[in-house]
Structure formats: C-alpha cells, structure tokens
Structure 1
Amino acid sequence: MAQSTNLSNIPAPLLSRPWNEKIVLVQVLVGIFLYVNCLMICTFFKKEAFRTDTRYILFAQTLITDSALMVVTDVAFCGNYFQIPVHCIPCVIMCTILTWLTFGTPLTLVAMCLERYVAICMPLRHASISTTRTRLLGLVLIWCLAGIPSLIGLIMFAASVPLKAFSSYFICSVEMMVIHNWQGHFRGALYQFYFFVMLVIIGFTYVKIMAAARGASSNKKSASKGLRTVVLHAFQLLLCLIQLWSPYVEMAIMNINFMLFINVRYSNFIVFMLAPRCLSPLIYGLRDEKFFVVLRYYAVFGLNKKDFYLCKFYPYHLKHEKTWPLNGK
C-alpha cells in the first residue's frame, strides 16, 4: 500500500512537475469531450419528445454519467501526475465515486440493449413496458447495482486500515483502497461476475434482434438498425470492461519497469477511458436522425433556417417528410 500510494503526513508542494504534451493532450481531449456531451445534454432537455422516450433518457444518463466520470477522473489523473497529496477521507470518497460511476455506464448500455430488444422483438408490448414508473425503477436499479462494488470496496478498506490512516495524506488512486491481496482477488472476481452477466445479456439481445432482422417482418429496417446499435454497444461495453482489468495489468508492469508502467497507464486512460465515452455521442448523437436534427440546430446556435423549421415542426416533419415547408429547397 505504501509503495503505490506514497503515504505521508505532510503535504508536498503543489504542481511539483512541469506540464508536458501528455497532460496537455488529455486536457484537450477531455475539454472536447465535455463540450460535445454538454451540447447533447442541452439538446436532450430542450425537447419534450426526448424526455419522454426511454432510449433517449438512457442515452442522456450515459452522457451525464460519462461527463461526471471524466471530470472526477481528470482531477485524479492530474493529482497523480503532479504528485499532489490528498487527505485520506476526500481521497476515499473520490475513489468510491469513481468506482460507482465506472459501473454506471456499462450497466446503462445493457439497459439500452434491453430496451431495443423490447422495442424490436415485442413492439406491441413496448408501450406498456416502457412507462414512467418502469423507467424510474430501471434507473434506480442501475444505480443500485453500480453502487454495490464501490460500497463493498469502501467497507473492505475501512475494515482493513488503522484509524490513524484516516488522518494521513495519499497520492490518490483507486489502487490505494486495496490493502491486502485477498481484497484485490475479491474485487477482480466481482468485476468478472459483472462482466459475465452483462456479456450474457448483450449476447441474448443480439441473438434475438438478429432473428427479428432475418425474419419475414415489415420492420426489417428498424431491426437491422437496432442490430447495428447493439453491436456498437457491445464494442463500447468491451472497452469499458477492459478498463476494469487495466489496474491488474498496470500493477504487474509496475513491478517490472516503472517508466513502462507510466506509459501503459497513460495509454489505458486514452484507449479504455476516453475512447468508450466518445462512442456514445457517435452512436446516438450522429446516427439517430431525430436527435441529430435538433443537435445540429443548437450546435450552430439556431442560425440555420432549415434546421429552425425542422426543430419547430419536430417530430411532425419526420412523419410527413414530403409536405413540410422547406422540402427540396
């Protein structure tokens, strides 16, 4: 624990390391990511039609969760880079929130796949299943399931350290909460259990939607589009879940070569933390016709006249494309 967290009683000077291209690149990517996400979150809240649709509600939840996760992770990343000691209690709270938010996104992706399964494979029951009460229960269930690993980790840490440790300072990281080897093994087993269950659910929805896409149905186009969405969600989920395994690889590399550990950790942050969170805007914000129309309007601050009418008559123009005012102009 002391090796990985640099326990001390006296805070070190802030910003003790110079800025370099790596930390600057992360800040640029995080800034772009947060800007796009905030634009999409504003788009979601601007239209009532989005706020009453289950898939858009789940999409908005991924945007909000990913944005919060990115802010907290970036703070932790900068603290690690500049070797800023943090008091134990705020550090533990931040690590607990990080774990909670980390599980929020993959669980929401699973819920989005289930929603597509119901919409495509059980269209007649979709309206009765996707109600306000069901949506609320689903969101509560997602956050409760996401909170189980973080709560268990918090309890194990509190039970394993002496009271004097809570008055100390740490170079804050999630690994500092793993005191004994058995805690790491237990956490790994719990993560793998989550991975297995989510993989089974996504595989189930993929098979069912694929069967609907191949069947003699009048809704083949919707089924094919839903199938592609599930595949993209599965790839995004895979990146998120690989992130859960990254600490074990990083700790093994740290015992071999510390500089290699620094480079691998930086690469994992870019590939498995930033990349999956950038896929959500790509999957729904750009591929979804309804959402993209409104997003494009607000992205240019309402300066496009055609987009003004598209948003004004939304969603009417999507059903009456040939008769709306600016068609063909």
Structure 2
Amino acid sequence: MVNSTELTNNTTTKVMSTPMIVITIVLALMVLFFVIYVYLMVIILNVFFTSPQVRETTRYILFIHMLFNDAIYLLFSFMLFILSISGILFPVPICLVIASFTTCSFIITPYNLAVMSLERYAAICHPLRHAELCTAQRSNLAIAFIWIMGMIPQLANVIVYCCFADSRSFNFKIICDWKLMTVSNVQVVIRNFTDIVGFSTVTMIIAYTYVKVTFVARRMDSGNFASKAGKTILRHMFQLLLSMLAFTTLITETYLTPYFKYLPFVNFFLVMCLPRCVSPFIYGMRDEVFGKPMRKFYLIASIRLLH
C-alpha cells in the first residue's frame, strides 16, 4: 500500500518530459470535470440548505460531507499536480501540512461510505430505532470521528518525520512528495497499516450491511424500500472499489509505462481524480430529492450542446 499524495506526486515527477499538448489536454479535462462537479455540487447544496427536512436527515448530511471532502481532495490534488509539473518547490513544513491534509482527505471518503452503509442498515434492520440512532447531532459526531480517524495516522507521520529528520531539512524546498519526506521505516509501516486496516474494515462493513439488508428485503412482503437500500449500499461498494483503484497506480506505472508513456497522466486523471468526480452522479441522480434538479441541469446542458 502507498500514500495517496505519494501516488499523485509520483505521477507528476514521471511526466516532466511529456509533450505540452498532452499536458494541456489532461489539464483541460480535469478542469472541465471539476467545473461540472462544482456546478452539480452547487445544485445539491441549494436543495440541501433550502429544505429543513433534508438538512436534518442523516444520509443527506453524510452525502453532503462526502461531496465537500471530495471537492477538497480534488482541489488539492490538482494544485499539487500543476505545481509539481511546473517544478515549483515548497518549504518542507508547508509540504508536510499539505501532504498530510490531502492524504487525510483521500482516506476519509471510504470511512464516510462505511458510515452511510451503517445508516442504511439501521433504517432497514432496526427501523424502530432508526430515528433515535440516526439524528443530525449524531451525524455530526460521526463526521468528527471520521476526521479524527483520518488525521491520527497523518499526525503520527509528521511526528515521526520531526523526530528522525535532520533539523536542517526544515529549511529545504522540495517538490511536495511523501517519498521525499520518508525518513524512517516507521512512516512506511504507519501508512501500510492505515491503508490495509482501514480499507479492509470499510469493505467488511459495507459487505455485512449489504448482506443483512438483502436478507431483510427477501423476508419482507413489500421489500421495495429495503431493495432500494441494498442498491444504495452496492453503490457504496462500487465507489469504494473506485477509490481502491488508486493503489494500482504504482504497479501499473512500474511495469506498463515503457509501453505507454502517457500512462502516468491517464492514471492521475482516470484513477485518482475521476472516481471522486462521479459521486454526484452515482448518488444524486438516483435520489428522489436531488435527482429532479440534477436531471433538469442535464437536460438543459444537452439542449445547449445540440444547439
């Protein structure tokens, strides 16, 4: 397992010699998808903040949090990508903060998906206690807990770096890459442990909740609601798999780059960033609250393209 910031900047350091036309195309695509993501996010936020009932619903609170977190990750990833290919150097302390925050944002999305699956599990398997278990206040506490779990490994990484690094290194300027800030095997162990345990736990939670919800759906005489919840959890699993594709970047670039020199760019766009951009489509378009305004946007955009 590898660090997400390391993956992002590993990509950028390998493509310095890439033709400018390729860089321009990839950057244009990234900007386009990010603009679409932000526009859809604005539509969703407008519905969320203008509907008091929606603002108090746990699954929508968690969904909005995931959108904000993905937007943060995309913004910082784009920034690091552009600055790295431009050869711009960061002071080590600033790089430590940015790299830690970006990596934290990367691993928070799977944790958020796990909590969203647990909310659906409570709604279907414990309907009488759902209103008690899934309140707006508890949703905010869950989000705070997610951020704490995401930040602890990053703080440990920073502490280890400060303990083992030469004090003079804090005066250096570098391309912001975790590999350049790995001064001890302890950091590698922390990152691997966090990735393996974190993603394994999330996978087991989502799989367990899907099995339980599916079982309840088959028992119920009218299982439409439970069936929809099962499909929602399946979408969570799909989103998790998309997130985990990021860990294939180092392997594919090690063995396939000699045959496809643009692979680092493709990996960064398709594997690191695009999965985050599709969140509004995966969840928003099929939701009864957000689906209608999003489909209206899609219809208007299609008409404008045709004309």
Aligned residue pairs: how many? 283
Asked if 1 retains the 8 angstrom alpha-carbon contact of 2:285 and 2:295, the reply is no
Write the distance in 1 (CA, Å) between the matches of 2:188 and 2:263: 20
Identity of aligned residues (%): 31
- 1:34 Cα shift? 2.4
SS of equivalent residue, structure 2 residue 278: helix
Of structures 1 and 2, the one scoring higher in RCO (CA 8 A, sep 6+) is: 2
Match of 1:290 in 2: 289
Question: Does residue 1:158 correspond to 2:162, yes or no?
Answer: yes
Asked if 2 retains the 8 angstrom alpha-carbon contact of 1:107 and 1:198, the reply is yes
Question: Does residue 1:222 correspond to 2:225, yes or no?
Answer: yes
SS of equivalent residue, structure 2 residue 87: coil
Match of 2:132 in 1: 128
Match of 1:276 in 2: 275
**Aligned alpha-carbon RMSD (Å):** 2.7
Bigger shift: 74-83 or 130-139?
130-139
TM-score (structure 2 length as normaliser): 0.83
Q: Work out which of the two has the higher radius of gyration on C-alpha atoms and give 1 or 2.
A: 1
Q: 5+ unaligned residues in a row in structure 2: which ranges?
A: 1-6, 11-18, 301-307
The residue identity in structure 2 corresponding to 1:202 is I
The within-5 A match list for 1:1-329 is 18=20, 20-218=24-222, 220-243=223-246, 245-246=247-248, 248-249=250-251, 253=254, 263-295=262-294
Deviations 1:24-52 (A, max 9, x none): 22222222222222332233222212111
Write the distance in 1 (CA, Å) between the matches of 2:45 and 2:118: 22
Higher helix share: 2
Deviations 1:112-153 (A, max 9, x none): 000001011111111111123322221111111111221122
TM-score (structure 1 length as normaliser): 0.77
Write the distance in 2 (CA, Å) between the matches of 1:247 and 1:291: 33
Asked if 2 retains the 8 angstrom alpha-carbon contact of 1:285 and 1:291, the reply is yes
Q: 5+ unaligned residues in a row in structure 1: which ranges?
A: 7-16, 302-329
Write the distance in 2 (CA, Å) between the matches of 1:60 and 1:20: 31
The residue identity in structure 2 corresponding to 1:133 is Q
- 1:300 Cα shift? 9.1
Write the distance in 1 (CA, Å) between the matches of 2:120 and 2:89: 45
Structure 1 residues 148 and 55: CA distance shift in structure 2, 3 A: same
Structure 1 residues 262 and 197: CA distance shift in structure 2, 3 A: farther
Structure 1 residues 161 and 213: CA distance shift in structure 2, 3 A: same
The residue identity in structure 1 corresponding to 2:133 is I
- 1:87 Cα shift? 1.5
Write the distance in 1 (CA, Å) between the matches of 2:72 and 2:129: 34
